[in-house]
Every structure is written in structure tokens, then in C-alpha cells.
Structure 1
Amino acid sequence: METTVARRPLLWPATAVWAAGRVVLLLFVFKVVVFPGPDVTSDVSVIYHGWYDVLRGGTFPLEDVTWQYPPAAALAVLSPGLLPFLGYAEAFFVLAFLSDLAAFALLLHAGRRPGRTLAGAWLWVAGVPLLGPTVYARYDVMVTAVAVAALLAGARRPRVMGALVGLGAMLKVWPALLLIGVRRRAVWAAAVVSAAVLAGVFALAMPGSFAFLTFQRDRGTEVESLGSLVFHVARQYGWDGDVLLNYGSVEFLGPYVSVVSTVALFLTGAAFAWLLLWRLVAVRFRPCTVVDAAFAAVLLFTVTSRVISPQYMVWLVGLGAVCLCFRATRMRWPALLVLLACPVTLLEFPLWFAHVVASDTLGVSLLFARNGLLVAAAVTAAVLLWRSTVPSLRKERPPAQAEPAEETPVSS
């Protein structure tokens, strides 16, 4: 008994650091301490709260182009109603905190199992506070907690994984990418059924469930995206476009913006095509392959997106943390690059966002640094995923020599 206990990693250091970091975040969002820069909590107190009032009336905000989310996002926006003894914003912050806690607890539990490590929990402990109060002022941390639960449930409970992926996809689409490396039909079937049931219920119960598709189609190039660097540089040479609040985010509007947005869509399509090719030729699947593939896929779609909002980093930290729970993961370097991108993201938003909007030297430098780290992480993840799963034409490794499985694999 003593030997078994002694071999288990200690939980209290990670728990203590997690608690300290989250107390700081709560002090910021509750404005006990005022965080420099724009007020990131206004999205909750103004936008989310406005949607809450509309959704309680039984319809989606059809006249609001900033509503760009799948129908189950209504659950996140309505969730503060579960805490009627608090104001809307305060209840939202508490629920975001509890989602953070749930993800941390899952990572801790997973990290103590045989063949696992607490590195994933530590990545979550460090990465989330490095993004600042924005984490608790957006519902992305709730979606990320669902995605973390889905991936960690996959090996032993494939139908639970599928149901959670379906829920996540109906909350914010991107969790559908968690299926890219899954081969078990039970996971796919449960995901399709879960998403279909949710979509059907919302379509029947509330008008405008899928209006978000049109609003997303009409978005431009957001000032923090990879494509925006074209215009940040072009402004130094007389480009005469504008930087305006458009479709809920600060975007470039003017000459050639549509061209850059189209290129971004093309790159997203190319990333999807590469993932399909990888899926067709990959033959070496280990227990960590599903989570490695999910992390690589979300990285690729994030860097090619027309929008890279700061809260998107929460997805990457969460998925990177799940990867690091597995000793055999190939995603250590991409996860480290994502972690390094977190404090740079905090600097560009909200601390020095005015410099980003102005396209001055500081703002452009921060964007080149943050987006460069994300591009490096995405490319590295894709290369490592390919090399670890696709046999080389020059030296194919026999399946019998593959690394031993840590447990029943998700992809079997």
C-alpha cells in the first residue's frame, strides 16, 4: 500500500498553484482589482446578457449579426439563470470558474493513471491564467471543459465521448474536429445522434437556430488573425482601408480584404484536405493518437481562420493539456509553443490592444510573435502526427514493432 501511494504523483502542488492563479482571475473579473486595457467583461454584462433576455423569450437573436454560434450555445448563455441569487455577469463568472475547475480535476485524475503524467494538468494550471481575465469572460472555457472530458472519456467510454463531442459541436462547432483520429464506430454514431437530437430540439423549439451560418459566412478579416498581418504591414505603405467593429469583432474593411479572407478560407480547406489524406494513409495508432490528431487539427483550423480571438487560445491549452497527459504523446513541442503564445496573447489583448488596432510597431510585433508561435506549433504538430502514424516509404516499420499500448486505444 505504501509503495503504491508513494509512486503516485503529488496533487497538492498543482492544486495550490491552480487555486492561486484562479483567485487572481476572479479578482479581475469581479473588478476587485482592475485589469489594464479594455474591459473584457463587457461581453458578458452587455452582449451575453442581452442575448439572455432574448433567448428567454423562446427565440434566437435573429436581428443581431454578432450571434454567430450553433444553437446549443444558448445553453451557455442561459446557464447563469441556474444561480438566480447572483447577478447575470457574476453568475457567469462563477460558472466559468467551475468549468475551469472541472477541466483541471479531469486532467489531474487522468494524470495519475498508469502510463500517464501530470504534465497536462500543469499545462492547464499555467496556460489559463497567462491569458488573463478574458478566459472567464467568454464561454469558451465551458466548451473546452466538454472537449477535455470527451477526449479523456474516449478510451473507456466511447459512447460518452461521442455524446460529448456532439454536444461540443453544437456549442461551438470546433469540437467536431476531435473525431478526426477516431476509428471506433460507436464514437461517431454517438456524436451524430447527440448533435442531431440537439439540433432537432432547438430547430423545433426556437426559431432561427441556424441563422448563425449566414452571419459567419459574411465575416471579414479580424485584426488579430494571420491574414490581418497583410494589412497591418500594408498600412505602413498607405493602404487606405479602415479598422472598424464589424460582426462583433474589430476587422479590416477596404481594398483586398475579400481577397485575403478568401485565401484564408482556401487555407482552411487545404488543412481539411491534408487531415483527410492523413486519415487515409495513417496506419500506426496508439492510445494518444486520437488526442494528438485532435490537437493538430484544431491548431491548423485556428491559424487558418479569418479570426483568432484571444479566447481561442483556451481551446489549444485544453487540448494540449490532454495530449501531455499521455507519456507517449508527440505533441510536447507544439504544446510548449502554445504555452509560450499565451502571455504574448495577453499582451496584445487586452493590455496593448490599442497598439494592435493602430498597427504601430509594438502592436504588429506582438501579432507577428503570437501568430508566428501558433504557425510553428501547427506545422510542427502536423509533421509529428504524420511521422508518428504514417510509415516511411524508405523504411517502413513493421506493425509488430509499434510502441506498446498503455490501455485499450480509442482508435481500435
Structure 2
Amino acid sequence: MESRTEVGGSRSAARRRRRARLGGRAALWAAFAMVHVGLVLLNLYAPGWPLGDVTAVYRVWAETAQLGFLRMGIDTPWVYPILAFAPMTAALAFGSAWYGQTWLVMVSVLDAIAFSVLLGRGRLSRRRRAAAWWWLAFLALLGPIALGRIDAVTVPFAMVGLLWAAGRPRVAAVLLTVATWIKVWPAALVAALLVSLRRRFEVFTVAASLSIAILGVSLLAGSGVNAFGFVAEQAGRGLQVEAPLAVAWLWWIVAGSDDATIAYDRGILTFQVEGPGADVAAALTTPLMLLGVAAVLVAGTRAARRGAAVVALLPPLALAFTTVLMLANKVGSPQFVTWLAAPVVLGLALGGARFLAPASLAAAIAVVTHVIYPYWYGWLLIANPGFVLLLTVKIVLLFVLLGWALHAVWQAGSDRRPRAAP
């Protein structure tokens, strides 16, 4: 009897050791390397030219500035905030011929830094392990766009900023402010910190001071009002083909109407829908976004005033702000899906199983996005019914995700039970 017990105990211990190896740091880092090597290869060799914006647009901007011809955001208005030029220029480090490869290595290194912060230095908790596996799966499901755009540079900054928010709010504010001046969307995460954290004044002071400093350097470089050119450039855009509001015109085209069309705008290098009411819908996106942000702000402020713990409030609030920016947007580019990684990883790391629903929704959104872009993107550009349906499904999933996040924010302000500190 004792021998059987000993055998059973040894087998149980062996299973535990196998699980530990599977979920340990070595396995996670091996998977990280495999996923990123795979994404690099897809960006370089997959059909659909997934690295097109990097090699055909970012590189040209960086080279013209290097040669002294034109500095985007300084000599002329630009669609991006001024710090976006930093990674675009850094990718020229090994010459123009290696620009794409350098970009992919640079983004992979940034991801590795964020991944190491997520794993931490101490004992690897089950929640952080699950968050790490989810992020790797999310990147693989999303495909090459996960590395091949300027948004991919901001995600590691955003992720580390959120992970450090409770313990190091000043550092978090620096990281998120820098990310905001690369691509505007992390401003939503700064708003989430201002609502959720008790040390919100520190966050505000750091974010405001750093923003003033960045603007000051830009003005000294001669930008003038071009420092704010990204605001005007975005305001002047039409409805991009992937924008949530554009779906109505896409279905109009599917129905056989000649009044709605898809056209290429050479000024901002995007495909847009055109037709009766499209310009009005594009103009409405800004007030809709403001209303959505205000609604999330009200819900978050209620929860914070009712004593919601940071661990319960910050992840869904960050997710809600981010999803509103995606839905009330006249652009809707596929790379926007990368934004979801930061709040979902935070939610899994802090909340564990409570965040499985949004994690699953975000993964499904990544899959649908990958099917649409880049390999068969042309089918969407001719309003193929199947691909218009896929885009519609993606938008519905985003609305469901927003609904979940708002419910979680409201519940955080209603649940008075004590919660463990993060």
C-alpha cells in the first residue's frame, strides 16, 4: 500500500514538474522567439505586402529628413505626433536597404522588454503566466500587422506603463505620455490612470510637464503650428474603408448601388468610402468619440468615488476607453487591434479568470482582422460580401467588448467587498 502511495506521489510530482517546465520562463521565452520570428518572416515574405507602410512610407519620410529635404511634423503638417519620427529614423541605423528588417528587430526588442516586465523577476505567478501566453497567442492570431506599423512601437510602452501604474505612477505617466506623442491612442490609458489612481495628481503633473517639454523642443526645431498638424490631418480625413461607420456604405455597395464607391485618397494614402452622407458620417465621428469618452469617464469616476480598487477598476476602464477610440473612429485600420493587448494583458495579470471573456473577444477580433488583412485585403476593397460580413462581425465583437468593459467598470463601483492589493 505504501509503495502504491509513493508511486502515485512520484507520478504527481512528475506531472507538476512537466507543467512547471511548460509554463516556465524558458518555455515562454522560446515561444516568444518562435512567434516573433514567424511574424518577421510573414512581414518580409507573405503576400499582400504587409510591411508596405514601413518600407514605402516610413522609410521615405525618414530619408527625406536625413537628406535635409523635408522634416515631417516640423516643415509640414503630419498625420502623426512629432515623436513618431524617432522610431522611423532609428530604423535607418543600418542603412536604407535594411530598413524593414531593422524595424522588425526594433519592435521585437521593445516587445521583449515588455515581456520581461510582464514576467517579472520573482516567482512567476499563474496569472502573469496566463497573460504572457495570451499575449503571444494574440500576436500570432493577429499576424504581421502586429509588428509592421507604428502602433506596434507604442504597445510595449503602453503595456509596461499599465503594469507599473499602481506602484510607479510617475514612470507609468512618462511611458504613456511618450507613447501618446508617437501615436495618440495611449492618451486613453493616461485618462484611465487619472480616474483610477489615488496619485492622479502626480500622473497629471508628469504627463503635462513632459508634453510641454516635447512641444517646446518641437517649436525650437521650427515646427510652429505644424506641431499640432496631426489634429488637423485627422479631422480632414474621410471614412476609411475599415471604419465602423463605413460598413453601412459597404453593404450599400454589396446591394448593387452605384451611389456608393470605394476610392483611394492619395493625400493620406488610404482607401475611403464615398457616397451620400459619407462626409457627414465622417464629421460625426469626432462628436461621437467625445460622447463615448464622456460616458466611460462618468462610469469610471463613479466607480472611483465609490472606492473601487485599482485592481478592479483600471483594467476594464483602460479597455473601455481604448475600445471607444476604435469604434468612434473614421480610420479603423487593422493595426488598431494591437491596442487591445495592453489593457487585456493587465486584466489577465491582475484579475485572472475574471478577464477571460474580454481576452477571448480580443483574440477573436485578432483572428478576423488577420483574415481580412493583409493576404486578402483586396476582396474588402471591392466590397466582396464575405469580407464585408467579416468586417461587420469584427465591429459587432468590438461593441460586445465595450459592453463588457462598461459593465465591469460599473460593477467595480458597486462591489464593496474588500479586494487584495495588486
Which range, TM-score by smaller chain?
Answer: 0.7 to 0.9
Quick one: distance in 2 between partners of 1:79 and 1:250? 28
Quick one: distance in 1 between partners of 2:60 and 2:358? 38
Indicate the structure with greater helix content: 2
Give the structure with higher Rg (CA): 2
Q: Is the 8 A contact 1:123 1:317 kept in 2?
A: no
Query: CA offset at residue 14 of structure 1?
Result: 2.4
Amino acid at match of 1:79: A
Query: CA offset at residue 92 of structure 1?
Result: 1.2
Partner of 2:369: 345
What are the superposed Cα offsets for residues 139-172 of structure 1, whole Å, 9 maximum, x if unpaired?
Answer: 2111011111111121221111111121111111
Quick one: distance in 2 between partners of 1:179 and 1:256? 34
* Structure 1 residues 139 and 110: CA distance shift in structure 2, 3 A: farther
What are the superposed Cα offsets for residues 12-44 of structure 1, whole Å, 9 maximum, x if unpaired?
Answer: 33222222221111222233xxx13x2121211
Partner of 1:193: 209
Unaligned runs of 5+ in 1: 392-396, 407-412
Q: Is the 8 A contact 2:110 2:153 kept in 1?
A: yes
Partner of 2:230: 212
Is 1:60 the counterpart of 2:72? The answer is yes
Amino acid at match of 2:278: V
Query: CA offset at residue 84 of structure 1?
Result: 4.7
Quick one: distance in 2 between partners of 1:112 and 1:209? 45
Within the candidate set 112, 115, 120, 2:131 is matched to: 120
Partner of 2:349: 325
Quick one: distance in 2 between partners of 1:280 and 1:385? 10
Is 1:29 the counterpart of 2:43? The answer is yes
What are the superposed Cα offsets for residues 256-293 of structure 1, whole Å, 9 maximum, x if unpaired?
Answer: 10122233333212211102212331123223222331
Query: CA offset at residue 116 of structure 1?
Result: 4.3
Amino acid at match of 1:196: I
Partner of 1:410: none
Is 1:276 the counterpart of 2:300? The answer is no
Mapping for residues 255-274 of structure 1, pairs under 5 Å:
255-274=276-295
Q: Is the 8 A contact 1:231 1:239 kept in 2?
A: no
Tell me the number of residue pairs that the alignment of Structure 1 and Structure 2 aligns.
390
* Structure 1 residues 99 and 203: CA distance shift in structure 2, 3 A: same
Query: CA offset at residue 97 of structure 1?
Result: 1.7
Partner of 2:405: 381
Quick one: distance in 2 between partners of 1:268 and 1:116? 33
Match of 1:261, SS state, is helix
* Structure 1 residues 78 and 213: CA distance shift in structure 2, 3 A: same
Quick one: distance in 2 between partners of 1:300 and 1:339? 18
In the superposition, the TM-score normalised over structure 2's length comes to: 0.85
Mapping for residues 12-411 of structure 1, pairs under 5 Å:
12-31=26-45, 35-36=46-47, 38-56=48-66, 57=68, 59-60=71-72, 67-84=78-95, 87-109=98-120, 112=123, 116-182=127-193, 183=197, 184=199, 185-207=201-223, 208-235=226-253, 236-246=255-265, 247-282=268-303, 283-288=306-311, 289-327=313-351, 330-389=354-413, 391=414, 399=416, 401-406=417-422
Quick one: distance in 1 between partners of 2:124 and 2:296? 30
Amino acid at match of 1:312: F
* Structure 1 residues 110 and 198: CA distance shift in structure 2, 3 A: farther
Quick one: distance in 2 between partners of 1:328 and 1:108? 14
Quick one: distance in 1 between partners of 2:49 and 2:120? 35
Quick one: distance in 1 between partners of 2:147 and 2:84? 16
Runs of at least 4 residues off by over 6 Å: 5-8, 62-65
Q: Is the 8 A contact 2:309 2:412 kept in 1?
A: no
Same amino acid, percent of matched pairs? 25
Query: CA offset at residue 110 of structure 1?
Result: 8.0
Unaligned runs of 5+ in 2: 1-15
